[in-house]
Amino acid sequence: MANKDLRYFMREEAKVEQIVTVPGPESIKDENGKVIQLEIKQLHNDTIAKINEMYESKTPLKDKKGNFIVQNGNVVYKVERDRSKAARHLMVEALVYPDLKDKKLMEYFGCVDITDMPLKVFPTNKEYGHVSKQVLKVLGLTDEDDEAKETEDAKN
């Protein structure tokens, strides 16, 4: 490979988070009876990582005597992650329409925490599951093979 030009990696799509339109849940329709389309932003990996880190806590581990546990010269930490809250935050950040951070929408549902909004706006398991799957698909966080396997397992 003789041509090692770095401009191949200088792509506009690497700087801008694209917006994709996907069908919303069957239960949410406009005045003409058509299913509302969702607009989902393709968040970049650094954005996803930052959101996940927000819901991670580290606590130094102690033994029964109250002494810190040290291994190879380093304090050992217990890492706890609130995956469901992180997933809801990702959903809020990725959804462009509906904008779950909209002040009027939040007031309507009586929410002050954006991570509660997906649960309020999509209150049934069917709606929430549909939107969650669409967001994860757009973000590239689901494996297409796993989804095909699930469908095949459901048929059998």
Predicted pLDDT of residue 37: 94
Tell me what the mean pLDDT of segment 96-117 comes to.
94
Give phi and psi for 38, each to the nearest 5. -95, 145
3-state secondary structure 32-98: CCCECEEEEECCCHHHHHHHHHHCEEEEECECCCCCECEECCEECEEEEECHHHHHHHHHHHHEEEC
Gap between the Cα atoms of 111 and 120, Å rounded: 8
- DSSP secondary structure letter of residue 113: S
Predicted pLDDT of residue 144: 62
DSSP H or E run through 126: helix 125-139
Gap between the Cα atoms of 122 and 101, Å rounded: 14
Predicted pLDDT of residue 116: 94
pLDDT at 115 over 90: yes
Predicted pLDDT of residue 11: 83
Coil, helix or strand for 16?
coil
* pLDDT tens figures, 29-65: 999 999 999 999 999 999 999 999 999 999 999 889 9
Contact indicator for 113, 97 with CB cutoff of 8 Å: no
